[in-house]
């Protein structure tokens, strides 16, 4: 199976030893995206802004692979607090207005860099 790294400067660089995304076997595995400003590498303030920017970053990675949100078949949302579930859900829903992908959402003890939300996805050609 061929494995290809997908990377774009329109999304933040990885904050560890991983790729922004990997294309393999007709699937694209997008690493978890935080609300990091691609220009500064810093987290934006607040869960709404972080969720929106995490999805913007994901959109840039999908676009680099010639895909979009329409190609996403599975997503995972990680939250620092389940109290933010409804707010993040509303922002997420705007990106998937029809035929949303399968999804899981979890509250976790901590996210990298003190993030409030992280979103990862699997997309298919």
What is d(CA 67, CA 84) in angstroms, rounded to the nearest whole number? 28
pLDDT tens, position by position, 55-113? 999 999 999 999 999 999 999 999 999 999 999 999 999 999 999 999 999 999 999 99
Share of residues in the chain with pLDDT > 90 (%)? 96
Q: Is the pLDDT of residue 25 over 80?
A: yes
What is d(CA 50, CA 78) in angstroms, rounded to the nearest whole number? 12
- The CA-atom distances, in angstroms, between 24 and each of 13, 30, 33, 49, 75 are 20, 11, 19, 31, 17
Question: Mean pLDDT over residues 36-59, rounded?
Answer: 97
What is d(CA 57, CA 37) in angstroms, rounded to the nearest whole number? 9
Q: What predicted TM-score, i.e. pTM, was given to this entire model?
A: 0.96
Structural domains present in the chain:
3-124 (3.30.1330.40)
Cβ pair 118, 54 in contact under 8 A: yes
């Amino acid at each position: 199976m061929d494995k290809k790294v997908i990377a774009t400067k329109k999304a933040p660089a990885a904050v560890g030893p991983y790729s922004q995304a990997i294309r393999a076997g007709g699937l694209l595995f997008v690493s978890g995206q935080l609300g990091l400003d691609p220009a500064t590498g810093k987290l934006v303030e607040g869960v709404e802004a972080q969720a929106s920017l995490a999805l913007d970053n994901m959109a840039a990675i999908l676009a680099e692979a010639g895909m979009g949100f329409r190609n996403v078949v599975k997503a995972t949302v990680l939250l620092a607090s389940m109290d933010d579930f409804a707010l993040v859900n509303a922002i997420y829903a705007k990106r998937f207005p029809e035929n949303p992908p399968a999804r899981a959402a979890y509250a976790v003890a901590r996210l990298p860099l003190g993030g409030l939300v992280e979103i990862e996805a699997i997309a298919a050609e």
